[in-house]
């Protein structure tokens, strides 16, 4: 990811920091929408915990997690501050928890499609990402690259979080829709999921074993198709 592109940093620091700012803004938008959507879904289900704690907001300061944000920039996947939910307050019980969990990835997918629509309609130029353009004070080019990163990162946030591994949202969805007979298996997965996820991220980060490659490849291909150009 961008922080590992030391060649660009040394060769053209200005372009590097333009891209870094674009990634940062795209991340702020994506994570804020994701966590806000969890809080809004919990609210709809009758749990006001997140609302009382100030999480029913698009203010990024309420949602950004320093380590989670850094991981997205470095590795390509990460997380925001988890939205607190009290399952006992949810009107639909376990199914309500699945709804709350699904709300975050769904919001990122919708946001990615909406921004991609700006490229598809011609309102944003999908070809304005050359180094020469980024070196100039071309606000249109900077907006284009930020929008392109927003499409790509929102898709990554959506599909990564849908992996059925706790503590990702996919784990919450699985716990909410699994038959009661399968709940012991889900409970065991909740214990082993976090270390397995951490191992996958570390292997991708520090070794040649790209565990997350099977996720990155199709998501990047979808992003390219949506952006066009």
* Location of structure tokens 């930020």: 146
Q: Dihedral sign for Cα 11, 28, 171, 163, please.
A: negative
CB atoms within 10 A of CB 197: 20
Are the C-beta atoms of 147 and 115 separated by less than 8 Å?
yes
Active site residues: 35
Q: What angle do CA 73, 123, 158 make, to 5 degrees?
A: 35
Q: What angle do CA 101, 157, 204 make, to 5 degrees?
A: 120
Sorted by sequence, the CB contacts under 8 Å of residue 55 that are 6+ apart come out as 35, 36, 38, 39, 62, 63, 83, 84
């Amino acid at each position: 990811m961008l922080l590992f592109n030391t060649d660009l940093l040394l060769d053209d620091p200005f372009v590097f920091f333009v891209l870094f700012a674009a990634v940062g803004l795209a991340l702020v938008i994506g994570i804020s929408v994701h966590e806000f959507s969890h809080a809004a879904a919990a609210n709809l289900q009758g749990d006001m915990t997140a609302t009382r704690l100030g999480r029913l907001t698009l203010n990024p300061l309420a949602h950004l997690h320093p380590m989670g944000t850094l991981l997205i920039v470095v590795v390509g996947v990460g997380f925001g501050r988890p939205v607190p939910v009290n399952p006992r307050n949810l009107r639909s019980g376990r199914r309500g928890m699945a709804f709350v969990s699904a709300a975050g990835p769904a919001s990122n997918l919708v946001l990615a499609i909406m921004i991609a629509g700006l490229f598809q309609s011609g309102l944003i130029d999908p070809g304005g990402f050359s180094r020469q353009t980024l070196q100039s004070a071309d606000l249109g080019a900077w907006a284009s690259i930020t929008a392109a990163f927003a499409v790509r990162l929102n898709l990554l946030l959506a599909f990564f979080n849908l992996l059925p591994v706790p503590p990702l949202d996919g784990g919450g969805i699985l716990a909410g829709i699994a038959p009661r007979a399968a709940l012991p298996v889900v409970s065991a997965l909740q214990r082993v999921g976090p270390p397995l996820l951490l191992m996958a991220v570390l292997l991708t980060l520090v070794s040649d074993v790209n565990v997350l490659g099977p996720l990155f490849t199709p998501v990047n291909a979808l992003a390219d198709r949506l952006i066009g150009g």
